[in-house]
């Protein structure tokens, strides 16, 4: 047995580990960006859990509201937006939040402001949530020069000024509430044979 190869396969690189490794290469770094990314990761993990049990938790279906694009919001859209806004504000590293789900920008309370602007779609592809296809969170991060004197102009920056951007993809789990136990086992077996 090749123990070195086995060890390599178990040496997982998580986004948190990667960010901490990169931060250590920059002695001037103070950890603000690392904190922000970890809060984004936290939001993604929470949403992954919520999406995987959406059928059982009755989170599938319309919420009865529309977003700024005129699209009907799903229950998971509303939950996703609340989770991401709270995760980003609680990081203490953001000044302005722009969400596809909100008509207006969220200006963070001055006592909790940091130097970053985050633009995001908390649940991209949510119109396909009932189909069981992949969905995810898209985000982009910019910096602001003066966190105490903010305006929407701080958000309207060219893409080349973006500090980071990312997409956290997740796939909905099989809804056991829509199948009997036997049908679910048969469906999982069929899918395994296809892959």
Closest alpha carbon to 80 in 119, 121, 108: 121
Which tokens hold the place of 112?
Answer: 């909790």
pLDDT higher than 90, residue 176 = no
pLDDT higher than 50, residue 181 = no
Supply the range of the domain harboring residue 100: 3-194
pLDDT higher than 50, residue 174 = no
Closest alpha carbon to 154 in 85, 96, 84: 96
pLDDT in tens, 108-149: 999 999 999 999 998 777 666 666 667 788 899 998 987 778
From 30-34, 47-51, 60-64, 141-145, the region with the lowest mean pLDDT: 60-64
Distance from C-alpha of 95 to C-alpha of 29, rounded to nearest angstrom:
19
CA-based torsion, 58, 61, 64, 68: positive or negative? positive
pLDDT score at 66:
66
Number of structural domains the chain divides into: 1
pLDDT higher than 50, residue 59 = yes
pLDDT higher than 90, residue 93 = yes
pLDDT higher than 70, residue 172 = no
pLDDT score at 177:
40
Per DSSP, the three-state class of 8 is helix
pLDDT score at 78:
81
CA-based torsion, 100, 143, 82, 128: positive or negative? positive
Mean pLDDT along residues 38-61: 72
Percent of the chain exceeding pLDDT 70 equals 66
| CATH number where 98 lies | 3.30.540.10
User: 3-class secondary structure for 53-67?
Assistant: CCCCCCCCCEEEEEC
Distance from C-alpha of 53 to C-alpha of 81, rounded to nearest angstrom:
17
pLDDT score at 117:
95
Q: What is the mean pLDDT of the chain?
A: 77
Residue 139 in contact with residue 100, Cβ under 8 Å?
no
pLDDT score at 91:
95
Residue 110 in contact with residue 96, Cβ under 8 Å?
no
pLDDT score at 109:
93
């Amino acid at each position: 047995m090749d123990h070195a190869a086995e060890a390599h396969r178990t040496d997982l690189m998580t986004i948190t580990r990667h960010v901490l490794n990169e931060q250590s290469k920059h002695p001037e770094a103070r950890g603000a960006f690392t904190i922000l990314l970890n809060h984004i990761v936290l939001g993604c993990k929470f949403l992954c859990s919520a999406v995987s049990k959406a059928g059982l938790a009755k989170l599938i279906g319309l919420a009865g509201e529309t977003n700024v694009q005129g699209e009907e919001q799903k229950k998971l859209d509303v939950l996703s937006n609340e989770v991401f806004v709270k995760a980003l504000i609680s990081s203490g590293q953001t000044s302005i939040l722009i969400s596809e789900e909100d008509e207006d920008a969220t200006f963070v309370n001055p006592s909790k402001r940091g130097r970053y602007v985050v633009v995001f779609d908390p649940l991209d592809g949510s119109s396909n949530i009932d189909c069981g296809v992949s969905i995810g969170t898209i985000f982009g991060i910019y910096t602001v020069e003066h966190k105490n004197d903010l305006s929407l102009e701080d958000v309207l920056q060219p893409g080349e000024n973006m500090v980071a951007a990312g997409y956290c993809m997740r796939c909905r789990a099989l809804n056991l509430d829509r199948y009997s136990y036997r049908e679910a086992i048969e469906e999982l077996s069929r899918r395994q044979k296809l892959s």
